[in-house]
Amino acid sequence: MMADFLIRAVLAGLVLALVAGPLGCFIVWRRMAYFGDTLAHSALLGIALSLLLQVNVQVAVIASCCAVALVLVSLEKRRSLATDTLLGILAHSSLALGLVLLSFTDNRIDLMAFLFGDLLAVSAGELWIMGLGGLLCCAVLARFWNPLLALTLHQELAQVEGLPVARLRLILLLVMAVVVAVSMKIVGVLLITSLLIIPPAAARRFAQSPEQMALGASAIGCLAVLLGIGASWFWDTPTGPSIVLAAALLYLVGSLPGEKS
Amino acid sequence: MSTNVNTPLSSPAPATPLLHLRGVGFAPSGREILRDVSLQLHSSQILTVIGPNGAGKTTLIKIAMGLVPPHTGTVTRASGLRIGYMPQRLQVEATMPMQVARFLRLGPATTPARLRDVLREVGASHVLDSRLSTLSGGELQRVLLARALLREPQLLVLDEPTQGVDLKGQAELYRLITHIRDQHQCSVLMVSHDLHLVMSSTDDVICLNQHVCCHGHPEQVSNDPAYLELFGRSGAAAMAVYTHHHNHHHDLAGGVVKEHQHEHS
């Protein structure tokens, strides 16, 4: 029994780390960190809706994250406000709406687990959804890897060269929404963005190509997951924060020996 | 708001133009950026759009390429027109490790031999294996030009091709562009803020300040009262284009404050 939940925790963490590597690279390259936070905040809205409507939590969270991503895309098109202002409005109004909706339900959810994750409590069913979601996102990123790179380097150039720019942006946002939603259980909404950003930042120094950076980020993320769960096992520290801390330490170790660039 | 006055460009060419803009206007949320701009571009012609900052040059070429739909007027491109685009500046994210060869291969499908050929043509063979983020301004512009050429374009669109390049390098780049036009028989639509540097490498010039102030052959334009007024007499002579006298004022946001209509186009 004891081994089972640990194996599930390790598997769930590794799945997230694998997809977070390449996705996190785009977040770093495109400076979308704040967008990840916004998606994470809106996850609470999904939880509240799942309780009100009696549907699967993960499905509801994925749906609400995707909805917020779509709202952002349509608001961005009007360009009436700067994107970071829009993100702030979306993030906090969806978080507030989630909290208000939660007060209408009888269930009392564990806010701590929501904020910081509850990796050791991952069920077999949740692991399946994470695995499928993670695999799907990896496949989508691999399929559109070169077009997404071209888009990131110069949007108009990509457009002149015939790439469907609007669709690619949407794909990236939806992948991000799905990853944030399925990884909520692992590190919690407050720490999700860090797991997307720290491994690519650590891998950047050693990478010669975008692919190396993505794979390196995946590897560093996996190592951080193993170290974090190990620390949590031996020293009884909270799992999610331990993983993030391990990633941060790996980043520090990587940046220590003499600045190259 | 735009009266569809067609402003013919230089001598009328017999063939249908590759690119034809008629009375194009663009005013996002009421702020007028372009008004009644018409132009034609024929095959193997080099047309340069000059104008001060905020004149709408970049917007104009985006509309010409079909990236942005105009609010008024029409844009006609020859069917199946292959456009090679060299953007004003590539903001290379220092966080993205990207080699020149990989960057070029992100564009249209190509072969290693062709990559080397094109890089040699633009005089940047030595950077094939360099990181984008380590290139000098001139090298980066040449790499961008190579990426545009890989599409074997019928129309090259260059947005301030010499940005971030020193004066000597600028003259070299303009010579290279003329050479490329001769070699590839493609048309060139480019944006510049410097008439005197492009003078010898362009067939026609449009002087743009939200509307077409004047147009014609470079020598003609450089003596046009509208051009001299836009860039200032001394400025036009000294190539210092950023301190010029306007025939209309701009407000702080860059919009035109219209005091009077002027007729010179």
Q: What is the pLDDT of residues B79-112, one digit of tens each?
A: 888 999 998 877 776 778 888 888 998 887 888 8
Report the chain B residue with the minimal C-alpha distance to residue A159: B67
- Stretch 159-178 of chain A: residues touching chain B, C-beta under 8 Å: 159-161
Distance, in angstroms, between B169 CA and closest chain A CA? 24
ipTM for the complex? 0.79
- Asked if A156 lies within 8 A of B87 by C-beta distance, the reply is yes
**Fold held by B16-82+157-257:** Rossmann fold (3.40.50)
CA quadruple A191, A196, A197, A200: dihedral positive or negative? positive
Note whether residue A261 is domain-resident. Answer: no
> In Å, how far from its chain's centre is CA B1?
26
Cβ neighbours for A166, distance < 8 A, ≥ 6 positions apart: none
Distance, in angstroms, between B5 CA and closest chain A CA? 29
Q: Which of B87, B95, B151 sits opposite A28 (nearest CB)?
A: B95
CA separation for the pair B155, B37 (Å, rounded)? 19
For residue B114, the tally of other CB atoms under 10 A from its CB is: 15
Per residue, what are the HEC states of chain B?
Answer: CCCCCCCCCCCCCCCCCCEEEEEEEECHHHCCCEEEEEEEECCCCEEEEECCCCCCHHHHHHHHHCCCCCCEEEEEECCCCCEEEECCCCCCCCCCCCEHHHHHHCCCCCCHHHHHHHHHHCCCHHHCCCEHHHCCHHHHHHHHHHHHHCCCCCEEEEECCCCCCCHHHHHHHHHHHHHHHHHHCCEEEEEECCHHHHHHHCCEEEEECCCEEEEECHHHHHCCHHHHHHHCHHHHHHCCCCCCCCCCEECCCCCEECCCCCCCC
Distance, in angstroms, between B99 CA and closest chain A CA? 7
Beta bridge partners of residue B239, listed in sequence order: none
Quick one: pLDDT at residue A150?
Answer: 92
State mean pLDDT over A98-112.
Answer: 79
Please write the tens of the pLDDT for every residue from B156-172: 999 888 887 888 888 88
CA separation for the pair A56, B246 (Å, rounded)? 65
Interface residue A33 vs chain B (CB under 8 A)? no
Interface residue A41 vs chain B (CB under 8 A)? no
pLDDT value at A174 more than 50: yes
Domain of A30?
2-254
Residue B153 has, within 13 A of its CA and on its CB side, a CA count of 27
Are residues B84 and B76 in contact, defined by beta-carbon separation less than 8 angstroms? no
**Could you tell me which of B11, B53, B28, B23 has the C-alpha nearest to residue B209?**
B53
pLDDT value at A64 more than 50: yes
Report the chain A residue with the minimal C-alpha distance to residue B99: A209
Note whether residue A78 is domain-resident. Answer: yes
Distance, in angstroms, between B90 CA and closest chain A CA? 7
Count Cβ neighbours within 10 Å for each residue of A70-106 and write b for 16 or more, e otherwise: eebeebeeeeeeeeeebbbebbeebbebbeebbeeee
Residues constituting chain B: 265
Residue A132 has, within 13 A of its CA and on its CB side, a CA count of 8
Quick one: pLDDT at residue B259?
Answer: 44
Report the chain A residue with the minimal C-alpha distance to residue B81: A160
pLDDT value at A193 more than 80: yes
Q: Which of A161, A201, A213 sits opposite B151 (nearest CB)?
A: A161
Are residues B145 and B86 in contact, defined by beta-carbon separation less than 8 angstroms? yes
**Angle (CA) B183 B188 B194, round 5°:** 115
DSSP state, residue A206: T
Interface residue B31 vs chain A (CB under 8 A)? no
Interface residue B85 vs chain A (CB under 8 A)? yes
Are residues A29 and B93 in contact, defined by beta-carbon separation less than 8 angstroms? yes
pLDDT value at A261 more than 50: no
Interface residue A77 vs chain B (CB under 8 A)? no
- Asked if B103 lies within 8 A of A153 by C-beta distance, the reply is yes
State mean pLDDT over A154-172.
Answer: 90
For residue B30, the tally of other CB atoms under 10 A from its CB is: 6
- Asked if A160 lies within 8 A of B98 by C-beta distance, the reply is no
Show the DSSP H helices in chain A as ranges.
Answer: 2-29, 33-53, 57-78, 83-103, 111-116, 124-143, 145-153, 155-160, 165-187, 192-204, 210-235, 239-255
Q: How many domains does chain A have?
A: 1
> In Å, how far from its chain's centre is CA A15?
12
Tens-binned pLDDT, residue by residue, of chain B (265 aa) = 444 444 444 444 457 888 888 888 898 877 888 888 888 888 888 999 988 887 888 889 999 998 888 999 888 888 888 999 998 877 776 778 888 888 998 887 888 888 899 999 988 888 888 888 888 888 888 999 999 999 889 999 998 888 878 888 888 888 898 899 988 889 999 998 777 777 777 888 888 888 888 888 877 777 787 777 777 655 554 443 333 344 454 445 545 544 444 444 3
DSSP state, residue A108: -
The CATH code of the domain that includes A134 is 1.10.3470.10
Largest CA distance in chain A: 57
Mutation target to probe the A interface, by most A beta carbons within 10 A, among B58, B62, B95, B155 is B95
Going by their DSSP bridges, the two strands B34-41 and B83-86 should be labelled as unpaired
Measure the CA dihedral B220/B221/B225/B227, to 10°: -170
- Give the residue, A76 or A200, on which the prediction is more confident: A200
Interface residue A259 vs chain B (CB under 8 A)? no
Distance, in angstroms, between B163 CA and closest chain A CA? 16
Note whether residue A58 is domain-resident. Answer: yes
Interface residue B95 vs chain A (CB under 8 A)? yes
Note whether residue A113 is domain-resident. Answer: yes
CA separation for the pair A93, B105 (Å, rounded)? 43
- Asked if B96 lies within 8 A of A156 by C-beta distance, the reply is no
CA separation for the pair A63, A46 (Å, rounded)? 7
Cβ neighbours for B199, distance < 8 A, ≥ 6 positions apart: B218, B219, B222
Note whether residue A259 is domain-resident. Answer: no
Mean pLDDT of chain A: 86
Cβ neighbours for A157, distance < 8 A, ≥ 6 positions apart: A150, B85, B87, B90, B147
